[in-house]
Chains A and B, each alone.
Chain A
Amino acid sequence: DTAVSQTPKYLVTQMGNDKSIKCEQNLGHDTMYWYKQDSKKFLKIMFSYNNKELIINETVPNRFSPKSPDKAHLNLHINSLELGDSAVYFCASSQRTSVTGELFFGEGSRLTVL
């Protein structure tokens, strides 16, 4: 009964390819996020959607395109993959009206670009 689920968990691909990572949450939250965790384990925000509307778009190359078909889903599509895109990508969700605003994370998707 996973709260935030991401697929795939592992992804190995060649430079120049296009790939997608999918995320779904069953917590009824209204806000979803994509974070990138580099080799030093630092979590960096990439995008955030609130009720399907983009609210945070950090300085991410436009090769990365998020899509939120509904508030329970947030997908990440990456075009023309580069070596530097290798990282673990985490999806998270929260309820913006919650007093505490706890972030709930998925298990991560490890992307390796060869």
Chain B
Amino acid sequence: KNQVEQSPQSLIILEGKNCTLQCNYTVSPFSNLRWYKQDTGRGPVSLTIMTFSENTKSNGRYTATLDADTKQSSLHITASQLSDSASYICVVTYSGTYKYIFGTGTRLKVLA
């Protein structure tokens, strides 16, 4: 069964600290993997996209990695800010289609 699983389910960190969120998937064939950020009461917004050949991609303080062999991705947040408090959702796309498989999300809370 094609699935996307994320860990941890929730995370609380202090402002200024770093954290890493994990995404494991079994989707095959794989096209790409996106990380979305969803603020409370808002729709998800794309942070970064990883294709099969990419290992690392940065977007400001967010750095995503992809290991296509082990089917794992991570999202590293550096020097966290209060505004990073949100749900982070990993979404994997089937190759050749536009079917999206959503992860269960990680809820991050950054405390002052």
A residues near B, CB below 8 A?
Answer: 4, 31, 40-45, 56, 90, 92, 94, 96, 100-103, 105-108
Contacts and interface: CB of A to CB of B under 8 A. Distances in A.
Contacts of A56: 99
A96 B93 CA distance: 12
Interface of B: 31-32, 34, 38, 41-46, 49, 87, 89, 91, 93, 98-100, 102, 104-105, 107
B43 A94 contact: no
B89 A43 contact: yes
B45 A105 contact: yes
Nearest to A95: B98
B31 to A, nearest CB: 8
A100 B107 CA distance: 25
B102 A43 contact: yes
A105 B42 CA distance: 9
Sort A-B residue pairs by CB-CB distance and give the 8 closest, nearest first.
A105-B43, A43-B102, A105-B44, A107-B43, A101-B98, A41-B105, A102-B46, A106-B43
Nearest to A97: B98
Contacts of A40: 104
A83 B55 CA distance: 45
